Amino acid sequence: MAPRKLLLASPRGYCAGVDRAVDTVERALDHFGAPVYVRKEIVHNGHVVRDLSERGAVFVEDEREVPENGVVVLSAHGVAPEVYRHCLERGLRTIDATCPLVTKVHTEAKRYAASGYTIVLIGHEGHEEVVGTMGEAPESIRLIGSVEEIADLQITDPTRVAYITQTTLSVDETLVIIAALRERFPQIVGPKRDDICYATQNRQNAVKQLAGEVDLVLVIGSGNSSNSNRLVDVTRELGVPAYLIDDETTIDPVWLEGVETVGITSGASAPEWLVERVISYFRSLGVEQVDSHELVDEDVHFSLPTALRRATA
């Protein structure tokens, strides 16, 4: 039998940084024409990447793959300093779409390193944001992803330790790790404000409230989206079944057995039209009631990258 009701989390979907990054590629294509090259995925969503590819964006793994004097957009996740150097050496017209909140973390890393601190970066190994941040001060940064890894940290001066975090982590898990770091390094310092971005926090808070009113939560997002995966984790920790779906075609009907109310949310890199597709899928099953669970109204906007604004002025 089909579920009786859908409950939509709000806020969900695009954050200001993702909206800015996608808009940057679209406007670059409008102004410069195809091809516009994009280093890595502009955001972690396969649908978005395919749509931009169809418009003429060419996604490359390394900036050195871009033809000399070409136009290249750097992704929202941020890059290491050597990437900017390579772009300059190739004479590329570089448009930096790094999320300003990620740039803030890079600035913190450089400041702590310049002051002689050993920096503990809380994040996921191999994630593009982490790779870019570590590139700012590779000799000074130690990466950890769990409380258990703290015991293995090799710190020369335990009185000169600082921490920073990846912006898309689980808020609760990160607080536990920070508390454990403070226990081992009582003099550890950190940023005045949490590095985890407002959108990640809001979406996790929204899905926590949603979980109390549903039998199942479906999180729309790609498998390589850190913040989308954290929404699944947060929900499951509350004892509510949750699954990450790319779109409506990846919903397993077995999940819906015995379910009356389905909660729907989406990661910060998932466009709203994917939510609409999922809603249409459930309507085709006979679901008529679709309600929204409003937590907070987001009103954050980031201006387009300076290089793009100057080019299109």
Number of residues that make up the chain:
313
Residue-level pLDDT at 122: 98
pTM, to two decimals: 0.94
**Has residue 221 got a pLDDT over 90?**
yes
Which contacts qualify for 238-244: CB closer than 8 Å, 24 or more apart?
238/208, 238/211, 238/212, 240/211, 240/214, 240/215, 240/216, 241/215, 241/216, 241/217, 242/216, 242/217, 242/218, 243/216, 243/217, 243/218, 243/219, 244/219
- Model confidence at 34, pLDDT cuts 50, 70, 90, reads very high
Residue-level pLDDT at 194: 77
As a whole number, mean pLDDT of residues 212-216 equals 97
**235: helix, coil or strand?**
helix
Question: Annotated catalytic sites, by residue?
Answer: 129
**Has residue 21 got a pLDDT over 90?**
yes
106: number of CA atoms within 13 Å, CB side?
20
The mean of the pLDDT values for the chain is 96
Q: What pLDDT, in 10s, does the model give residues 232-256?
A: 999 999 999 999 999 999 999 999 9
As a whole number, mean pLDDT of residues 53-79 equals 97
- Model confidence at 303, pLDDT cuts 50, 70, 90, reads very high
- Model confidence at 296, pLDDT cuts 50, 70, 90, reads confident
Q: What percent of the chain has pLDDT over 90?
A: 96
Residue-level pLDDT at 119: 98
Cβ-contact 267, 58 below 8 angstroms:
no
Single-letter amino acid code for the residue at 220: I
Judging by beta carbons within 10 Å of its beta carbon (0-12, 13-18, 19+), is residue 302 exposed, middle or buried? middle
Residue-level pLDDT at 113: 98
- In order of their start, the domains of the chain are 5-14+198-294 (3.40.1010.20), 16-99+302-312 (3.40.50.11270), 101-184 (3.40.1010.20)
Distance CA 119, CA 140 (A): 6
As a whole number, mean pLDDT of residues 184-210 equals 93
As a whole number, mean pLDDT of residues 69-81 equals 97
Q: What are phi and psi of 55, to 5 degrees?
A: -85, -10
Q: What pLDDT, in 10s, does the model give residues 79-115?
A: 999 999 999 999 999 999 999 999 999 999 999 999 9
Residue-level pLDDT at 158: 96
As a whole number, mean pLDDT of residues 9-34 equals 97
**Residue whose entry in the numeric block shows the structure tokens 């982590």:** 169
Q: Which two tokens stand for residue 116?
A: 């002689």
Point out the least confidently predicted range of 175-189, 207-221, 293-307. 293-307
Residue-level pLDDT at 146: 97
Residue-level pLDDT at 192: 83
As a whole number, mean pLDDT of residues 180-195 equals 93
- Model confidence at 183, pLDDT cuts 50, 70, 90, reads very high
Residue-level pLDDT at 193: 78
- Model confidence at 269, pLDDT cuts 50, 70, 90, reads very high
Cβ-contact 70, 93 below 8 angstroms:
yes
Residue-level pLDDT at 297: 87
- Model confidence at 204, pLDDT cuts 50, 70, 90, reads very high
Residue-level pLDDT at 275: 98
Cβ-contact 97, 76 below 8 angstroms:
yes
